Amino acid sequence: MTLLTPNSPTAELQALDAAHHMHPFTHGQGLRDKGARVITRAEGVWLTDSEGNRILDAMAGLWCVNLGYGRRELADVAARQMMELPFYNTFFQTTHVPALNLAAKLAELAPGDLNHVFFASSGSEANDTNLRLVRTYWAEKGQPERQVIISRWNGYHGSSVGSGSLGGMKGMHAQGGLPIPGIAHIDQPDWWGEGGEMTPEEFGRARARQLEEKIREIGPEKAAAFIAEPVQGAGGVIVPPETYWPEIRRIVDEYGILLIADEVICGFGRTGNWFGSQTMDIRPDIMTIAKGLSSGYQPIGGSIVSDEIAAVINGTEFNHGYTYSGHPVASAVALENLRILEEEQIVETVRTRTAPYLKERFESLTAHPLVGEARIVGMMGSIALTPDKARRAPFAAEAGTAGLITRERCFANNLVMRHVGDRMIVSPPLVISQGEIDTLIERAWQSLDEAQAELAAQGLLTA
Ligand SMILES: *Cc1c(COP(=O)(O)O)cnc(C)c1O
């Protein structure tokens, strides 16, 4: 066969894609009917598609391209590493320089005594590691009955059998027999959507106390760990009320269960600190990392664990690992990504300049008639679409209808902004400039105007 190129006609690219390529989280037939947008190149925060459109990527790919596109240093490091040592495993009494350096660098960056890293190639794999690691930890400590891991509805921890079970996406659980046994879910701290008549503070405390209730229900001697994203990402950028995490901390400490912070999105500057745990003032025993670890230039993830957990796990043979755990090319690229984040002081710039500016501009969207609340932490934010702000009312139409219409208007206006239900979310590359933030907000506003008109025309602007 002759391979197509980025210069091939879009229709041909779309047809071949539809014929053979199965897309993640996609209704295949629906995509075939619409045709996939073919992204051909990217630079900074800008994507180019096969039609020559320049698109502002307000999602940093999939929450991961923190450094922005087109960083030659990362490509150079990858090429050099491929020639020097493209692959070796770390299973059988062997190691290699990129993996050991990256583990040491992560130990330096991670807070507290999180000093030990188990590598994976993705966030899903890392959370599968965590599941087995936590249960093995308790078994080794002589408490094998401590097996149950508590997580949250609408949390996202990945798409493998283990991590999808840890997650609380009901649509995922409905397919393929998830969740696996030994996982319990509590409700999320989504005040806008579920807070009812409570104040955000009351609601945050109430939702945190569900953890205590769940621990009591399953029996404190059976509770192994609580896993949560410091700020939920894929669930719609749900920023918890300020009372939430302090209460969770109290409960975790009181019952002596492990806390796993899933930092796959929040890590590496996204919230204005190196880790979301720092922004939310929590002290996890384990952190899941992926995405921004390599700015998406290579697939790599991992679990950073405390001295105490490492000491226990190292006391046995942990029968777990991936061929590509600590892959040399991925590790070298991640190290280079961290070097650039540090040397260019990107996390500090986010905290002191870019994030405050984005916050001000992003929150101005609440002046739009379609927008209820705007919540943003660092460089991850969301707005809630509503037909009635005062009552925080959902649309009468099926959830996600208004979100999808708005996303399609964004797409048409060359802005990548995702929708989760009827929330619109942003998570731009950390290197976005003030001028680009202005463009983002202008295009978002324009898209909201068009979405409002379309919703009105379809008679959907009702609660
Ligand atoms: C994306 C994500 C994952 C899964 O990572 P993959 O690399 O897609 O497997 C896990 N946790 C969180 C919080 C994520 O956002």
> What pLDDT, on the 0 to 100 scale, is given for residue 99?
98
The minimum-distance atom of ligand 1 relative to the CA of 159 is 9
37-70+345-457 is a CATH 3.20.20.70 domain: no
- Which residues, including other chains, have CB under 8 Å from residue 407's CB and lie 6 or more apart? 417, 418, 419, 424
Euclidean distance between CA atoms 47 and 73, whole angstroms: 19
> What pLDDT, on the 0 to 100 scale, is given for residue 133?
98
**Domain spanning 73-343 has what CATH number?**
3.40.640.10
> What pLDDT, on the 0 to 100 scale, is given for residue 40?
98
> What pLDDT, on the 0 to 100 scale, is given for residue 162?
98
Cα 213 to middle of ligand 1, angstroms:
27
> What pLDDT, on the 0 to 100 scale, is given for residue 339?
98
Cα 366 to middle of ligand 1, angstroms:
29
CA-nearest residue for atom 5, ligand 1, is 123
> What pLDDT, on the 0 to 100 scale, is given for residue 23?
98
- Which phi and psi (to 5°) does residue 169 adopt? -90, 110
Cα 302 to middle of ligand 1, angstroms:
11
Contact, 284 vs 278, CB < 8 A? no
What is the rounded radius of gyration, in angstroms, for the C-alpha atoms of the chain?
A: 22
pLDDT in tens, 109-154: 999 999 999 999 999 999 999 999 999 999 999 999 999 999 999 9
Query: Does 73-343 match 37-70+345-457 at the fold level?
Result: no
380 pLDDT band (50/70/90 cuts)? very high
The minimum-distance atom of ligand 1 relative to the CA of 125 is 9
Closest by Cα among 365, 347, 288 to 134: 288
CA-nearest residue for atom 10, ligand 1, is 157
Euclidean distance between CA atoms 355 and 159, whole angstroms: 30
pLDDT in tens, 196-227: 999 999 999 999 999 999 999 999 999 999 99
Name the maximum alpha-carbon separation found in the chain.
67
The minimum-distance atom of ligand 1 relative to the CA of 160 is 9
pLDDT in tens, 416-427: 999 999 999 999
Pocket test for ligand 1, best of 122, 266, 277, 377 (most atoms within 8 A of CB): 122
Cα 35 to middle of ligand 1, angstroms:
26
Percent of all residues in the chain with a pLDDT value above 90, rounded to a whole number: 100
> What pLDDT, on the 0 to 100 scale, is given for residue 250?
98
Cα 292 to middle of ligand 1, angstroms:
11
Tokens 């929040």 -> residue: 266
- Which phi and psi (to 5°) does residue 201 adopt? -65, -45
Closest by Cα among 439, 437, 461, 463 to 357: 437
Pocket test for ligand 1, best of 62, 124, 237, 286 (most atoms within 8 A of CB): 124
Find the mean pLDDT for residues 242-265: 98
- Which residues, including other chains, have CB under 8 Å from residue 84's CB and lie 6 or more apart? none
pTM confidence score: 0.98
> What pLDDT, on the 0 to 100 scale, is given for residue 393?
95
Find the mean pLDDT for residues 64-70: 98
Please list every protein residue whose CB sits less than 6 Å from any atom of ligand 1: 63, 122-124, 127, 156-158, 229, 233-234, 262, 264-265, 290-291, 301
Cα 424 to middle of ligand 1, angstroms:
19
410 pLDDT band (50/70/90 cuts)? very high
188 pLDDT band (50/70/90 cuts)? very high
Contact, 133 vs 319, CB < 8 A? no
- Which phi and psi (to 5°) does residue 319 adopt? -80, 70
- Residue 315: is it exposed, middle or buried by C-beta count within 10 angstroms (0-12/13-18/19+)? exposed
Contact, 117 vs 303, CB < 8 A? yes
The domain limits of the chain are 37-70+345-457, 73-343
> What pLDDT, on the 0 to 100 scale, is given for residue 221?
98
Euclidean distance between CA atoms 294 and 330, whole angstroms: 7
Cα 123 to middle of ligand 1, angstroms:
4
The minimum-distance atom of ligand 1 relative to the CA of 262 is 13
Cα 295 to middle of ligand 1, angstroms:
13
72 pLDDT band (50/70/90 cuts)? very high
User: What type of residue sits at position 323?
Assistant: T
pLDDT in tens, 310-354: 999 999 999 999 999 999 999 999 999 999 999 999 999 999 999
The minimum-distance atom of ligand 1 relative to the CA of 124 is 9
